[in-house]
Structure 1
């Protein structure tokens, strides 16, 4: 009966549209979750590499950075629950509406061939169809998470073509480009903060000269930036501002 199928046909765009919205929101939450995990991972790496420094300066930093990750996971689970609940709500509302409209059709004289079994067959088929869509919801969630994670993966692959951050030529075995470094090492107004802790400056306007042939000592308490100076000189990191030069 076409009359009883009209309600189900109108609901199909709602089910498909809600799946697309759920996929988009899940992908956004996945990107946010990956960013927070990456930031926390950098802090953990710094924690194990400089245990005393981290314990003496920012002991609760990793715990604070995990809070957004927890809230992101809660939002992701809530989105999945709302999606499944929305599909169930659509199913119950349409089934109830069609049972009511079917009862009116059965009372009409020109619809005497319309029986309760027709309503049950159509309602059962529609309920099973929506149920299959809800089962697909978990796969849609996994696909959306994969899409969100793929962004950072392809960004990492594309970094190979970025000359500003890729310094592969440093490792090229070219004998002609080799030279002995025998000059003064100069830090000129160097400012630096770690990428994972932009609100905590490590070096502020550092200016120092290490003379060739002389011994220069960096002395200070844990966390003052001694190892950071060496890491900057070896170009493990780039300074936020200022320059590091080797004067021949």
Structure 2
């Protein structure tokens, strides 16, 4: 039992590590939060059950089965040999029902994973659900997956019942055959009554043990079905691996960034090209604003610099080195990102800001929050930096969440700064103060700004206009002529 728990804990840890080392495309197409949580909580319990006491019990029952037949052959091999003819029927029925149970168990586990995803999305977005009175819809969606899981359990139970019934039918038919043939052997004086009874009892004990092993087989089948998807993910090797220690590590980077004839489409929408020969060069220490209509590819530029995805063709270069040739963990430590939709973890404000730098001191966190114009509202909170932000930061306003995210990026002190609509949630007054802070920290850094407001891009060195995945115009705000 202890061994099973230990193995299940190791599988959980290894599965989580494998999930975290997958590329973003994996989460776009193959996995969702509910599925991962469901497998981490439910499937590992099934694996633990299959690897725990059921193993010892199964070995005991199988040993009893084998021992019973050995005793039967020793006491009366002729009668035992006749009864042995029933074994192929037992094995065939057990194998057939195991296959059926395996398929139904796998279908039920998938349904439970989908149901868990519905719950996670509903609870995590409870304000949106409540505002649109979507509680009934969430319940109906949950019930739909539960009905699928229920049907799978019914089919699995039916298969288990038919399996046991078949085993008992064959077993009791064998008893009748044993008594009939044993009586003939007694009349012929080949065996006496004691020998026949010993053979029947030995065969009966062995057969009953085989029948009692059926629940263990059910646990093994369920554990196998649960482990299949997990180990399928564990075996998956991502081309963009955050744990990969290979790649170049430089003393430092200057921050020159170049997109050279890049072709790209998102894996989930491979038939819709985003970039078709996109090229852009940004010298180090300059600020470039990316403007254009929604869906033109502005945020995709940031995703490629962070190496969330790799281009289908062309190169993304930093300091003249292909981004693929640099160690992923090291280069990401040199890049700071503030997304359009700030993501906060369910912990304190201090922990959320400290996420930007390992071992950050209280003074560093406080300074970063001041630069982001966040410390004023933080200081007014009852617990200050220790105030909990709630699920996904629901205890803070949109502007407050954005400022905490900016403070997190400031604390990282990155060489390359990526701002994806970083001030979009701020009011005019806060935007001006935060923009001033951003202007200060953007000095001597290579900065990308994705924005629609003129106030956000007016201090940029260069404005690049992107339309349908191509740069149609590049304007040097410092006085150079526009280029197309």
Check whether TM > 0.5: yes
Aligned residues of 2:98 and 2:218 also touching (Cα < 8 A)? yes
State the shift of 1:6 in Å: 3.3
* Coordinate RMSD, CA, aligned: 3.5
1:33 corresponds in structure 2 to 108
State the shift of 1:19 in Å: 2.9
State the shift of 1:106 in Å: 3.0
- C-alpha separation between the residues in 1 aligned to 2:233 and 2:227? 10
- C-alpha separation between the residues in 2 aligned to 1:22 and 1:185? 60
Structure 2: 5+ residue runs without aligned partners?
1-75, 258-281, 297-449, 457-466, 475-484
Change (3 A) 1:168 1:182: farther
1:213 corresponds in structure 2 to 454
2:177 corresponds in structure 1 to 97
Change (3 A) 1:158 1:66: same
Aligned residues of 2:115 and 2:145 also touching (Cα < 8 A)? yes
Change (3 A) 1:119 1:211: same
Cα deviations by residue, 1:30-84 (Å, 9 ceiling, x for unpaired): 2212211111111111111222544634231111111011111222222222222
1:184 corresponds in structure 2 to 291
- C-alpha separation between the residues in 1 aligned to 2:242 and 2:468? 20
Change (3 A) 1:6 1:167: closer
Change (3 A) 1:92 1:181: farther
Q: Residue 146 in 1 paired to residue 226 in 2?
A: no
- C-alpha separation between the residues in 1 aligned to 2:141 and 2:100? 28
- C-alpha separation between the residues in 1 aligned to 2:124 and 2:454? 30
Change (3 A) 1:43 1:114: same
State the shift of 1:13 in Å: 1.8
Structure with the largest fraction of helix: 1
Residue among 153, 156, 159 paired with 1:73? 153
Residue among 175, 186, 192 paired with 1:115? 192
Residue among 7, 10, 15 paired with 2:90? 15
Aligned length: 195
SS at match of 2:295: strand
- C-alpha separation between the residues in 1 aligned to 2:288 and 2:117? 32
Aligned residues of 2:115 and 2:146 also touching (Cα < 8 A)? yes
- C-alpha separation between the residues in 2 aligned to 1:177 and 1:83? 68
Residue among 6, 24, 41 paired with 2:99? 24
Q: Residue 85 in 1 paired to residue 165 in 2?
A: yes
TM-score (norm 2): 0.35
Residue among 31, 39, 46 paired with 2:121? 46
- C-alpha separation between the residues in 2 aligned to 1:8 and 1:121? 13
Structure 1: 5+ residue runs without aligned partners?
190-208, 216-242
